[in-house]
Amino acid sequence: MGSINAAKKYVVSSSLDRVDWNAELVRGDLEKAVQHLKQEPGKGLLIGGVKLPLALAELGLIDEYEFVVHPRLAGHGPTLLAGLSRYVDLRLVSRLELSSRAVAMRYQARR
Protein backbone atom coordinates (compact mmCIF):
# COMPACT_ATOMS: atom_id res chain seq x y z
CA MET A 1 0.00 0.00 0.00
CA GLY A 2 2.98 2.30 0.49
CA SER A 3 3.73 2.67 -3.22
CA ILE A 4 0.20 3.84 -4.07
CA ASN A 5 0.34 6.37 -1.24
CA ALA A 6 3.64 7.75 -2.55
CA ALA A 7 2.60 7.75 -6.22
CA LYS A 8 1.48 10.99 -7.82
CA LYS A 9 -2.22 10.90 -8.62
CA TYR A 10 -4.27 13.03 -11.00
CA VAL A 11 -8.01 13.48 -10.62
CA VAL A 12 -10.03 14.53 -13.67
CA SER A 13 -13.19 16.30 -12.56
CA SER A 14 -15.44 19.14 -13.62
CA SER A 15 -17.18 19.29 -10.24
CA LEU A 16 -14.43 19.03 -7.60
CA ASP A 17 -12.71 22.14 -6.29
CA ARG A 18 -9.88 20.38 -4.48
CA VAL A 19 -8.35 16.93 -3.97
CA ASP A 20 -6.04 15.34 -1.42
CA TRP A 21 -4.05 12.08 -1.04
CA ASN A 22 -1.02 13.32 -3.01
CA ALA A 23 -3.27 14.20 -5.96
CA GLU A 24 -3.49 17.02 -8.46
CA LEU A 25 -6.77 18.19 -9.98
CA VAL A 26 -6.85 18.15 -13.80
CA ARG A 27 -9.32 20.58 -15.35
CA GLY A 28 -9.83 22.23 -18.71
CA ASP A 29 -8.85 20.67 -22.04
CA LEU A 30 -8.50 16.92 -21.33
CA GLU A 31 -6.56 16.17 -24.52
CA LYS A 32 -3.93 18.86 -23.89
CA ALA A 33 -3.65 17.95 -20.20
CA VAL A 34 -3.09 14.24 -20.89
CA GLN A 35 -0.65 14.90 -23.73
CA HIS A 36 1.34 17.09 -21.32
CA LEU A 37 1.26 14.40 -18.59
CA LYS A 38 2.46 11.76 -21.08
CA GLN A 39 5.58 13.87 -21.69
CA GLU A 40 6.47 13.91 -17.98
CA PRO A 41 9.21 11.52 -16.78
CA GLY A 42 8.06 8.20 -15.36
CA LYS A 43 6.75 4.84 -16.44
CA GLY A 44 3.43 6.04 -17.84
CA LEU A 45 -0.02 6.77 -16.54
CA LEU A 46 -2.53 4.27 -15.23
CA ILE A 47 -6.20 5.16 -15.50
CA GLY A 48 -9.40 3.66 -14.26
CA GLY A 49 -13.07 4.35 -13.97
CA VAL A 50 -15.85 4.34 -16.54
CA LYS A 51 -16.05 7.82 -18.09
CA LEU A 52 -12.35 8.70 -18.27
CA PRO A 53 -11.21 5.62 -20.26
CA LEU A 54 -14.01 6.24 -22.77
CA ALA A 55 -13.03 9.90 -23.18
CA LEU A 56 -9.32 9.03 -23.60
CA ALA A 57 -10.08 6.19 -26.05
CA GLU A 58 -12.15 8.61 -28.15
CA LEU A 59 -9.16 10.98 -28.24
CA GLY A 60 -6.77 8.15 -29.20
CA LEU A 61 -4.66 8.77 -26.10
CA ILE A 62 -4.53 5.23 -24.70
CA ASP A 63 -1.43 3.33 -25.79
CA GLU A 64 -2.09 0.13 -23.81
CA TYR A 65 -5.17 -1.51 -22.35
CA GLU A 66 -5.10 -4.02 -19.53
CA PHE A 67 -8.20 -6.08 -18.86
CA VAL A 68 -8.59 -8.38 -15.88
CA VAL A 69 -11.34 -10.94 -16.39
CA HIS A 70 -12.66 -12.43 -13.18
CA PRO A 71 -14.38 -15.84 -13.20
CA ARG A 72 -17.75 -14.46 -12.07
CA LEU A 73 -20.73 -13.23 -14.08
CA ALA A 74 -22.39 -10.28 -12.38
CA GLY A 75 -25.26 -9.64 -14.79
CA HIS A 76 -25.24 -5.91 -14.04
CA GLY A 77 -22.99 -2.89 -13.86
CA PRO A 78 -21.45 -0.50 -16.39
CA THR A 79 -20.45 -1.80 -19.80
CA LEU A 80 -16.77 -1.33 -20.57
CA LEU A 81 -16.21 1.55 -23.02
CA ALA A 82 -19.94 1.77 -23.82
CA GLY A 83 -20.61 4.40 -26.47
CA LEU A 84 -17.21 4.25 -28.20
CA SER A 85 -17.77 5.86 -31.60
CA ARG A 86 -15.24 3.74 -33.55
CA TYR A 87 -13.33 0.49 -33.36
CA VAL A 88 -9.96 0.37 -31.62
CA ASP A 89 -7.88 -2.52 -32.93
CA LEU A 90 -5.68 -4.14 -30.30
CA ARG A 91 -2.65 -6.45 -30.34
CA LEU A 92 -2.17 -8.89 -27.44
CA VAL A 93 1.11 -8.18 -25.62
CA SER A 94 0.83 -10.46 -22.60
CA ARG A 95 -1.53 -12.78 -20.77
CA LEU A 96 -1.23 -13.85 -17.14
CA GLU A 97 -3.35 -16.28 -15.14
CA LEU A 98 -3.54 -15.10 -11.53
CA SER A 99 -3.83 -17.28 -8.43
CA SER A 100 -7.38 -15.93 -7.99
CA ARG A 101 -8.27 -17.65 -11.31
CA ALA A 102 -8.64 -14.23 -12.95
CA VAL A 103 -6.81 -13.60 -16.22
CA ALA A 104 -4.96 -10.34 -16.89
CA MET A 105 -4.49 -9.47 -20.56
CA ARG A 106 -2.46 -6.51 -21.80
CA TYR A 107 -3.00 -5.11 -25.29
CA GLN A 108 -1.38 -2.34 -27.32
CA ALA A 109 -3.53 -0.08 -29.45
CA ARG A 110 -2.73 -0.44 -33.16
CA ARG A 111 -2.22 2.89 -34.86
State the DSSP string of 34-102: HHHHHHSSSS-----SSHHHHHHHHTT---EEEEEE-S---S-SPPTTTT-SS---EEEEEEEE-TTS-
**Which position has the higher pLDDT, 48 or 57?**
57
pLDDT given for residue 77 in this prediction:
87
Q: What are phi and psi of 12, to 5 degrees?
A: -95, 120
pLDDT given for residue 2 in this prediction:
60
pTM for the whole structure? 0.83
Confidence category of residue 50, pLDDT binned at 50, 70, 90? confident
Q: Which residue ranges form the domains of the chain, and what is each CATH number?
A: 1-46 (no CATH), 50-111 (3.40.430.10)
DSSP label at residue 27:
-
Distance (Å, whole) CA 19 – CA 30: 17
**Which position has the higher pLDDT, 111 or 28?**
28
**Closest of 52, 66, 72, 71 to residue 106, by C-alpha:** 66
Residue pair 44/61 in contact by the 8 Å Cβ criterion = no
Each residue's pLDDT tens digit, 1-30:
567 777 888 999 888 888 888 889 998 899
- Give me the mean pLDDT over the 68-79 stretch: 91
